[in-house]
Amino acid sequence: MGLCKCPKRKVTNQFCYEHRVNICEHCMVANHSKCIVQSYIQWLQDSDYDPVCQLCYKKLVLGDCIRLTCYHVFHWKCLDEYARQLPSTTAPAGYSCPTCHSKIFPPSNLVSPVADELREKLAGVNWARIGLGLPILSIDREKKPPNDVDSSLPNGMENSSNHVDVVVHIQDSSPSYSLSDNSNQVPRRGLLQSSEQSSKEPLIFPDHDENKYKRRSFTDWFKRWWMSVNRQSRSKPSSHLYKRYCMVGVLFFIALICLIVVFKKLGSMATENDPIFDPHHNSFVKVEME
């Protein structure tokens, strides 16, 4: 489950494969009408997708599309031709999705933006009006899908290719000194970016997959902490130098106290059963018994 980023802020399980965001059905109709949309669980299982119509295997952006209630999307022209190839005696349940074989016609009690958009498109053709329970239109009033599916380049791509030709022509006709200036500027910018990237070292140390969930020992924790302190001190030596020496002094004092306690414990354990230190075995010491 996820939250759609639209102003409605609806909780949804549908996921756009192309934009990789959770979307509600309102956004699916308004902004993602030609995107591959399925559940988030299916995307986690298999994130590969191909934005083509499964009937003609051409890009979805090349023509008008229609989305079924199962969220599979096709070219409207291809789906119309697919349905017209079925016999005229086909029952409404026989019109099924070419991909998942679910019913094309939405149930009458289903209220959703996708179902409303689907009913509006299907109401323009006679084969779908029968399945929706609507009267048949005359031939001149029937709204057949336009024949706009074309394998040629879209207008935007054609304009961009023309733009590239113009730029190449300008570069050929430009003076040679402008090309030399540009060629000198590119390496300088590249060296500057490489020097900046080399100076930036990550503060987070990556873990391998096999060590990600292991229990950290004290030495690993201390090593990471010490390396982070060293990196901060190198970035700001004037402000972190005093703090670094203070930390070293505190650690040295703690280590000294621990060393004294350990040696004291070891000394008491060594002399605990020694008869020399027992006053009852010493002839020069008189112990009065009560």
| Residues β-bridged to residue 16 | 21, 37
Q: Is 65 exposed, middle or buried (0-12, 13-18, 19+ CB in 10 A)?
A: buried
DSSP annotation of 88 reads T
Which amino acid type is present at position 280? H
Q: What digits encode the pLDDT tens for the residues 48-94?
A: 999 999 999 999 999 999 999 999 999 999 999 999 999 888 898 89
Q: What is the pTM of this model?
A: 0.50
Nearest Cα to Cα of residue 31 among 49, 40, 39, 19: 19
Residues 6+ apart with CB under 8 A from 187: none
Helices (H), the chain: 25-30, 40-45, 76-84, 113-122, 126-132, 155-173, 176-199, 218-235, 237-270
Per-residue confidence band for 230, with pLDDT thresholds at 50, 70 and 90 = low
**In this model, does residue 172 exceed pLDDT 60?**
no
**What mean pLDDT is reported for the chain?**
75
